[in-house]
Amino acid sequence: MRDSISKKQECKLLPNQRIVGRWQRNSYRIIRELGYGATGTVYLAEGRGELVALKIASDSMSITSEVNVFRQFSKVQGPSLGPSFYEADDYVSAGGVYPFYVMEYINGQPFLPFLRQRGAEWTGILIVQLLKDLHQLHKAGWVFGDLKPENLLVTENPNCVRWLDVGGMTIQGRAIKEYTEFFDRGYWGLGNRKAEPSYDLFSVSMLFMNRGYPSRFEKTQEKSFTRLMTKFRQKDVIRPFEPVFRRGIEGKYKDALDMRSDLIQLLHGTTFTPKVSISVKPKTNITRREQKKIKQQQPSNPKKRRSLGVLESMLVASFILVVYILYLFGQTM
């Protein structure tokens, strides 16, 4: 299924509207809409004594399919994977009977906006974690399928990647049932749409690309591999990840842990430019005597000034490296 979403919402729920399950009789108060897609609409709701995410649709088959995936997915559930599944039921209204299911509400920041506020190294840090989670999913015989930033959230304390939508998850060996063209190797002519680990790893590579090109871009008559590599090298924020990106789109990685290992080594061996916010002070009238005093306080030797600058850069780089090591060590536990 391509990522072409119909905006028709057959069951529109309003803020403060209360719905009660036909079978379980649990009540949920709708707070606001979180998003909608080809298979239904997701709302933030209050129920079960907490905030939850409630997905409702007119097609019972799509809801049933996703519920079955959730139940299988729970077998590989981890502390940083997707939302927990709570229950499935039907909502009876004047317009008909609508199936829905309730899952954990994950409060976090969207993947790309989070990265835009951080340094370039954070792209690698989060994807290191994502690859560990994908490995667990692949070992259980599943492929994520529709892997894209819209299906990822970053939580706080600590910063962890969580998966949102399991609708595209497919049993290995079958055809991918949901995909988004930019992250689909079939669209670029760089592979088929068979559900296998390398399909997800191609999508992971395109997460790097999407970091550099938030608006994305389409294929042209130019050879896809050449076009992708050229575009990748044009963005400073992602260029350091080129070796991992290249092997990912070529399908050279045997599994997610192989890709993760390469990425960890790259992070340890790369110095990223720290993201520094610079505040500009307004000009003030300074007397010649004050200017002379300031000049006397500054290092007079140009070589000494350069040495201080190099020392500061080394200290910043060392600090970032320590952060890498501590974070990555925590992800391997």
Task: Tell me the CA end-to-end span of the chain in Å, nearest whole number.
Answer: 37
For 30-66, the pLDDT digits (tens) are 999 998 877 789 999 999 999 999 999 988 888 888 8
Share of the chain above pLDDT 70, in %: 76
In this predicted structure, the answer to whether residue 218 has a pLDDT above a threshold of 70 is: yes
Q: How far apart are CA 315 and CA 189, in angstroms?
A: 45
Q: Average of pLDDT values for 70-80?
A: 64
List the catalytic residues: 146
Give the contacts of 62 (CB within 8 A, at least 6 positions apart): 39, 40, 167
| 41 close to 33: Cβ distance less than 8 angstroms | yes
Share of the chain above pLDDT 90, in %: 61
Q: Is 275 annotated as a binding residue?
A: no
Kindly indicate the confidence band of residue 220, based on its pLDDT and cuts at 50, 70 and 90: very high
Q: How far apart are CA 188 and CA 175, in angstroms?
A: 17
In this predicted structure, the answer to whether residue 87 has a pLDDT above a threshold of 90 is: yes
Q: Which residue has the higher pLDDT, 251 or 166?
A: 251
Amino acid at 104: E
Of 1-5, 31-35, 271-275, 292-296, give the lowest mean pLDDT range.
Answer: 1-5
Of 8-17, 102-111, 246-255, give the lowest mean pLDDT range.
Answer: 8-17
Q: How far apart are CA 251 and CA 203, in angstroms?
A: 11
Q: Which residue has the higher pLDDT, 150 or 291?
A: 150
In this predicted structure, the answer to whether residue 282 has a pLDDT above a threshold of 50 is: no
In this predicted structure, the answer to whether residue 308 has a pLDDT above a threshold of 80 is: no
Structure confidence at residue 81 (pLDDT): 63
Structure confidence at residue 174 (pLDDT): 97
Distance from chain centroid for Cα 168: 15
Of 39-48, 223-232, 262-271, 315-324, give the lowest mean pLDDT range.
Answer: 315-324
User: Which of left, alpha, beta for 270 (phi over 0: left; psi -120 to 50: alpha)?
Assistant: beta
In this predicted structure, the answer to whether residue 236 has a pLDDT above a threshold of 80 is: yes
Angle at the Cα of 251 from the Cα atoms of 199 and 70, rounded to 5 degrees: 20
SS3 for the chain is CCCCCCCCCCCCCCCCCEEEECCCCCEEEEEEEEEEECCEEEEEEEECCEEEEEEECCCHHHHHHHHHHHHHHHHHCCCCCCCCEEEEEEEEECCEEEEEEEEECCCCEEHHHHHHCCCCHHHHHHHHHHHHHHHHHHHCCEECCCCCHHHEEEECCCCEEEECCCCCCEECCCECCCCCHHHCCCCCCCCCCECCHHHHHHHHHHHHHHHHCCCCCCCCCCCHHHHHHHHHHCCCCCHHHHHHHHHHHHCCCCCHHHHHHHHHHHHHHCCCCCCCCCCCCCCCCCCHHHHHHHHHHCCCCHHHHHHHHHHHHHHHHHHHHHHHHHHHHHHHC
Q: Average of pLDDT values for 320-330?
A: 51
How much is the mean pLDDT over the chain? 83
Backbone φ, ψ for residue 145 (5° rounding): 85, -85
